[in-house]
Structure 1
Amino acid sequence: MPSFEYVFPSIRGIQAGREYYISMCPMRLIPRIFLFDEEELRPELRSQRTLNKQRIPDITRYILQNPQEYTFSAITASIDGKVNFEPIGDEGDGRDMGRLHIPMSAKFVINDGQHRRAAIEAALFENPEMGDETISVVFFMDLGLKRTQQMFADLNRYAVRPTMSIGILYDHRDESSMISKTIVQRVPVFNDLCELEKATISNRSIKLFTLSGVHSATQALLSGSEIEDVDDKIELACNFWCEVADKIPDWELARRREVSAADLRSDFIHAHSLALSALARAGKGLLAKHPTNWKSKLEPLLKIDWSRTNTKLWEGRAMVAGRLSKKNVNVALTANVLKKQLGLALTAEENEMEKRYKSNSNGK
């Protein structure tokens, strides 16, 4: 008696001497054929990591909010069952193009893409019309748990997340990313001294800041702002960073290549993203207190000694044992210095932080 089966138009390939198949699978089938039944097993008996359910809502929103633009890479799966590939021809390309017949009794195991699968299921619940869209699936033949576990390890062995900077650079949908990229283009110091791809600045680099550093600082500057128009946010942030650059002359010297960016990073606090974040925190307070005349209030920044040798001021704040620290507490303590210099009152939380700093062996 013939069994019921799935039939997928497929392309056959060879990898490591084994056949595999690539097919386009309708979205509505994804939740039906890829089922989870491993969550209660011990790790050594599973072929996959357990599902991180906290990731699912974000991926689901991404699909639903971008129905004309979302992009998914292929799901990789193993088939535990006997399959039959029916080529459309006997010669040339026809031998590797055809239909893949998979019995419905076969078991499918996802090697890569379980979170995409769960998000697709959730998105289909909200928008069933997406069921006719397709996602590519790479089918391998299941050779047992050991082989399936090895496939998962191999597929993830060389996976590297892109740096935050390049993620911002290539994101044309997120508002904050668009704001940051525009600021880097319009603020001369950032335009010439900003590293757009890497997460860190190398010792010999002629850059001072990373795009991710500008992005984080600008988000802090604009956080809590009542401004809703994107262009107005960009204008305010550009004006702020241009004014700050005027009060830190070394930045302009580095832009004109009159001083070495490497020397500035070695000798001064202001040549690091830590300083950007602290300036943004202080700037947020300045904009709130002086919304119309804040520019004139930045003059005291010219009097700050940013030198790393000024350990009396920076040790325990921007530095710990002589090394810069990007921890939130160090950014906040550095921002406190700037706020006091600008004549801004500290919040209750910031005052409490100052008390702890001063009581901790005089800040050391």
Structure 2
Amino acid sequence: MNKAQDGYCFSFPAVRGLQAGKPFYIATCPLSTIPKIFVFDEDEVPPELRAQRTLNKSRIPEMVKYLVENPNDYVFSALTVSVASSVSFIENSEINTPNLGTLKIPMDAQILINDGQHRRAAIEAALKENPDLAHDNIPVLFFVDEGLKRSQQMFADLNKYAVKPSPSLGALYDHRDISSELARYLADTIEPFKGFTEMEKSSISSKSGKLFTLSSIKQANKALLGKGTKDGFTEDEKKLASDYWQAVFESTPEWQMILKKELSPSAFRQEYINAHGVGLHALGTLGCALITAQPNDWHETIKKLKNVDWKKSNPLWANRSMQHGKLSKASTNIILTTNALKHALALPLTPDERALENQYITSREATHG
């Protein structure tokens, strides 16, 4: 799309369509023109007089980084805007194709962004870091505005049915995230994950034949390797993760019973802590401490896991892995669960872990009088 001034109008090559009896227009716009044409101004305007939510500026840097770091491999969805003015559409008579032509919008028309104000802000910032992006295009969907009430309703309608993908589905499809790649690799190759990983959902139904979610494996690996969200993994670390989870499997009778069909996945999840994310995350954290302390002997020490009673009915897990009879993945519960595993393997607690353990013991003693 070219930005052109023609009779005090912006001219956009566009396609016209019809929705709910009203025309709309689809055009492509160079990124360089986005900040100039589509102005987002929220200066002290109360929500009831706006057609959009306020700009969440904390979201912008991550979007800018995505654009700048992936100039040849990024995807930005269309902006949806409404034009608070009458527009004209001139069909292209030369090609004799209906609904294909030029959309003309008065230059003084107010154009409100109904969906995409964060993309607009990210584009503006990214262009300052990488001017070469200016020649790329983004699709723009134009509606002719019928006033503020209609714009607000459009915003509500556009966002009403938008559902953020589950963390597991995000990990399945995200090929830029190294931690997601590692989780997918383990889910395909390592027992007990192979064949027992829920790849799309981040919760498992009671009748499912799966044991773990892809997102819980991803989080457990981060804990195991002591990595942050954006850190990558070396091939050695990838092999270490494979070796560790295989060793844990060999030291976990319940996991082996699953593969031998002596225990069903649903019964396992119903009765055992180590069939859930809190147990898996704690095992990852345990592994990080164990391998750091015993880089050459951890294979032997991990065998002590065979002596751990993972049943939910074990009083050890009350208020440690569970709160009010339900499993909890809160960071405090993960640490307390890890503490119990460290005790089973005769590993020392860190000062922070010891402090939390003391609070737990004091609270338990107070409760039991």
TM range (shorter): over 0.9
Corresponding residue for residue 322 of structure 2 = 319
Q: CA deviation at 1:157?
A: 0.5
Residues 33-72 of structure 1 mapped to structure 2, 5 A cutoff? 33-72=37-76
Q: CA deviation at 1:176?
A: 1.1
Q: CA deviation at 1:362?
A: 2.5
Residues 258-337 of structure 1 mapped to structure 2, 5 A cutoff? 258-311=262-315, 313-337=316-340
Distance 1:331 1:127 in 2: 42
Residues 40-189 of structure 1 mapped to structure 2, 5 A cutoff? 40-89=44-93, 94-189=97-192
Alpha-carbon deviations, 1:312-334, whole Å to 9, x = none?
x1111011222211111111100
Select between 315-324 and 145-154 the one with higher mean Cα deviation.
Answer: 315-324
Distance 1:79 1:29 in 2: 16
Q: CA deviation at 1:188?
A: 2.4
Q: Is the CA contact 1:182–1:234 (under 8 Å) kept in the aligned structure 2?
A: no
Whichever residue aligns with residue 261 of structure 1, its letter is: P
Corresponding residue for residue 233 of structure 1 = 237
Q: CA deviation at 1:91?
A: 9.4
TM, length-normalised to structure 2: 0.94
Distance 2:151 2:89 in 1: 21
Corresponding residue for residue 361 of structure 1 = 364
- Aligned to 1:245, which of 244, 249, 263? 249
Q: Is the CA contact 1:357–1:363 (under 8 Å) kept in the aligned structure 2?
A: no
1:192 is paired with a residue whose SS is coil
Q: Number of aligned residue pairs: give it.
A: 360
Whichever residue aligns with residue 134 of structure 2, its letter is: G
Distance 2:143 2:209 in 1: 48
- Aligned to 2:207, which of 201, 204, 207? 204
Distance 2:282 2:58 in 1: 31
Whichever residue aligns with residue 271 of structure 2, its letter is: D
1:191 is paired with a residue whose SS is coil
2:98 is paired with a residue whose SS is helix
Distance 1:70 1:114 in 2: 18
Q: Is the CA contact 1:193–1:255 (under 8 Å) kept in the aligned structure 2?
A: no
Q: Is the CA contact 1:213–1:276 (under 8 Å) kept in the aligned structure 2?
A: yes
CA 1:196 to 1:13, structure 2 compared with 1: closer, same or farther past 3 Å?
same
Q: Is the CA contact 2:80–2:142 (under 8 Å) kept in the aligned structure 1?
A: yes
Q: CA deviation at 1:229?
A: 5.6
2:80 is paired with a residue whose SS is strand
TM, length-normalised to structure 1: 0.95
Residues 213-232 of structure 1 mapped to structure 2, 5 A cutoff? 213-223=216-226, 230-232=234-236
Q: CA deviation at 1:299?
A: 1.6
Q: Is the CA contact 2:225–2:288 (under 8 Å) kept in the aligned structure 1?
A: yes
Whichever residue aligns with residue 333 of structure 1, its letter is: L
Distance 2:112 2:301 in 1: 62
Distance 2:321 2:163 in 1: 30
Q: Is the CA contact 1:55–1:115 (under 8 Å) kept in the aligned structure 2?
A: yes
Distance 1:337 1:229 in 2: 28
Please give the root-mean-square deviation of Cα atoms over the aligned residues, in Å.
1.7
CA 1:117 to 1:224, structure 2 compared with 1: closer, same or farther past 3 Å?
closer
Distance 1:228 1:103 in 2: 50
**Gaps (5+ residues) in structure 2?**
1-5
Select between 248-257 and 19-28 the one with higher mean Cα deviation.
Answer: 248-257
Alpha-carbon deviations, 1:83-128, whole Å to 9, x = none?
1101013997x22000111111111100000000000000101111
Distance 2:150 2:233 in 1: 54
Distance 1:228 1:40 in 2: 42
Q: Is the CA contact 1:7–1:100 (under 8 Å) kept in the aligned structure 2?
A: yes
Q: CA deviation at 1:275?
A: 0.5
Q: Percent identity?
A: 44
- Aligned to 1:343, which of 346, 354, 368? 346
CA 1:363 to 1:118, structure 2 compared with 1: closer, same or farther past 3 Å?
farther
Q: CA deviation at 1:38?
A: 2.4
Matched, 1:352 2:360: no
Whichever residue aligns with residue 211 of structure 1, its letter is: L
1:98 is paired with a residue whose SS is strand
